Structure 1
């Protein structure tokens, strides 16, 4: 499914739509080249889940956690990982228990598309806006039209 995201208003609305359907254990896997809006969409999802305040990019910390949201939330940016085995060193599984994972650059962590709760979103630049190519995992089939 392709979704046009012509501006920030549309990106925020898309983030709210995703947030409204999330369940514990889900993964939102965000892919796209630099500057396509992965962090912008992640911030929209975090805000829609109820976080008030700054949502820093986890580019340098790799993992940011949020306990003040409707669901426990882990926002990870795997861009700096050189090998998927580094995920074990980060203790990602400990953070993920009962939480939603927003994963930027998921391929650097070995990918999550094999998980039933993975909503894969590839962001692409289209003119001045963006387009999202959405691929829902099996547990998303009933939640994502």
Structure 2
């Protein structure tokens, strides 16, 4: 996916990386999370939410499509589009209202919303690497480039 990558050994490492990602998000962003079932997309999202100051539980929004969180760092929207039947359904959700300069949007299964979702600032792919995970990322915008560079330096 890119020359930006990191190997993570286990679930605590995935959560810690998510916390680091949150710290790098100094302004709103749209982040696509790619990976097969069970790769850790929701675990990564849990880390991001913790990094934004959320203290409660984080559940996968598989059936609701989106879980909104008001955090000390600002609004975070966790999307899971796995069960989305048609990208047009997102229009009925008022999807465009979720994306602004302040909000951070984490989107699992973004390919299911193709043509409706905005361009991602950053795309993260998660895949198996030995007994852990390999995360690789690429940017699509200037905001994403800054975010990708901050992640690499971390």
Shift of 1:46: 0.7
**Residues 7-22 of structure 1: pairs in structure 2 closer than 5 A:** 7-22=10-25
Q: Say if 2:86 is the partner of 1:83.
A: yes
Distance in 2 (alpha carbons) for counterparts of 1:59 and 1:49 = 22
Distance 1:114 1:90, change over 3 A: closer
Distance 1:69 1:57, change over 3 A: farther
The equivalent of 2:108 in structure 1 is 104
The equivalent of 2:96 in structure 1 is 93
The DSSP-based 3-state class of the residue aligned with 1:143 is: helix
More helix by share: 2
**Residues 130-141 of structure 1: pairs in structure 2 closer than 5 A:** 130-138=133-141, 139-141=143-145
Residues 58-107 of structure 1: per-residue CA shift (max 9 Å, x gap):
01111110113312111110011122111111111112233110100011
Normalised by the length of structure 1, the TM-score is 0.89
Normalised by the length of structure 2, the TM-score is 0.85
**What do you get for the CA RMSD once the two structures are aligned?**
1.9
Dislocated runs of 4+, deviation >4 Å: 111-114
List runs of 5+ in structure 2 lacking aligned partners: 150-154
Distance in 1 (alpha carbons) for counterparts of 2:115 and 2:35 = 14
